[in-house]
Amino acid sequence: QVQLVQSGAEVKKPGASVKVSCKASGYTFTSYGITWVRQAPGQGLEWMGWISTYNGNTNYAQKLQGRVTMTTDTSTTTAYMELRSLRSDDTAVYYCARIHDFLSGYPLDYWGQGTLVTVSS
Amino acid sequence: QSALTQPASVSGSPGQSITISCAGTSSDVGSYNRVSWYQHHPGKAPKLMIYEGSKRPSGVSNRFSGSKSGNTASLTISGLQAEDEADYYCCSYAGSSTWVFGGGTKLTVL
């Protein structure tokens, strides 16, 4: 069965970086893209960016440009999201999700369990 | 890319039907069948409920249905049950490998 398993919770100081992993299993990793979504406390879901697991192409949300990098390791079927220069408003639960590339509108059909990143001095 | 517009909250009694709207533009919601809907219980991963505007993934109850008129999509839940109480988000592919979410709607089952 399709599973996305994320790394554990992180506590970081302002200005630091965090790298969250998302281990995929149960399907052909390079056939579906991965997107990252976050939810700050009391807020809604926010799309962060996309990465093609086939060729590594990326597209990031404008507000995160320059601070976020998404990568994949096809040998371990793992996706990564690194966020730099952390601020207190980056405190959120971060989710990876599989993009169903074969359906119109590219829905997010499987999600990781979420990783809480807390930014605090 | 601006967030899609959803009502902050809706409520209904068990057995009733409710509808959640999701307003966008001709570049996202209004463009082909790009809308999906997600159910999100606190502390759990979001779950895909509707894709391509009106289709249900395997295993999702037929009490959930989706539709679209112009630049506004809607999610209808019929025969409300206690376990339907959750946050609901619409999402649209907006082209050029970009997605946009709605602000979310909190459903309360009275």
Per-residue pLDDT of chain A (121 residues; tens, 9 = 90+): 999 999 999 999 999 999 999 999 999 999 999 999 999 999 999 999 999 999 999 999 999 999 999 999 999 999 999 999 999 999 999 999 999 988 888 999 999 999 999 999 9
Q: Which of A48, A63, A104 to mutate to test the interface with B (most CBs of B within 10 A)?
A: A104
pLDDT at A103: 82
pLDDT at B58: 94
Q: Which residues of B touch A46 (CB under 8 A)?
A: 101
Record: contact A37-B51, CB cut-off 8 A: no
Structure tokens at B31: 């463009």
pLDDT at A63: 95
pLDDT at B27: 86
Q: Is A62 helix (H, G, I), strand (E, B) or coil?
A: helix
Which CA distances in Å does B29 have to A50, B56, B87? Answer: 19, 18, 20
Q: Residue B105: how many CA atoms within 13 Å on its side-chain side?
A: 28
Contact A115, A92 (CB under 8 A): no
**H or E stretch covering B2:** none
- pLDDT tens figures, B73-85: 999 999 999 999 9
Distance separating alpha carbons of residues B89 and B62, to the nearest angstrom? 18
Distance separating alpha carbons of residues B44 and B64, to the nearest angstrom? 20
Q: Which residues of A touch B99 (CB under 8 A)?
A: 35, 47, 50, 106, 108
3-state secondary structure A79-99: EEEEECCCCHHHCEEEEEEEE
Return the exposure string of B37-48: e unless at least 16 CB atoms fall within 10 Å of the residue's CB, then b: bbbbeeeebbbb
Q: Which residue in the set A50, A108, A114 is minimally distant from B36, CB to CB?
A: A108
Residue B14, min C-alpha distance to chain A (Å): 26
Record: contact A105-B1, CB cut-off 8 A: no
Record: contact A50-B98, CB cut-off 8 A: yes
pLDDT level of residue B32 (50, 70, 90 thresholds) = confident
pLDDT above 90 coverage of chain B, percent: 83
Record: contact B36-A46, CB cut-off 8 A: no
Record: contact B102-A108, CB cut-off 8 A: no
Cβ neighbours for B61, distance < 8 A, ≥ 6 positions apart: none
pLDDT level of residue B54 (50, 70, 90 thresholds) = very high
Over residues B21-46, mean pLDDT? 92
Cβ neighbours for B69, distance < 8 A, ≥ 6 positions apart: none
pLDDT at B68: 94
Sort A105 into a burial class: Cβ within 10 Å, 0-12 / 13-18 / 19+.
buried
Sheet holding B72-77, edge to edge: B18-23, B72-77, B64-69
Looking at residue B24, its amino acid is G
B100 touches chain A (CB under 8 A): yes
pLDDT at A101: 83
Q: Answer whether residue B71 shows pLDDT above 90.
A: yes
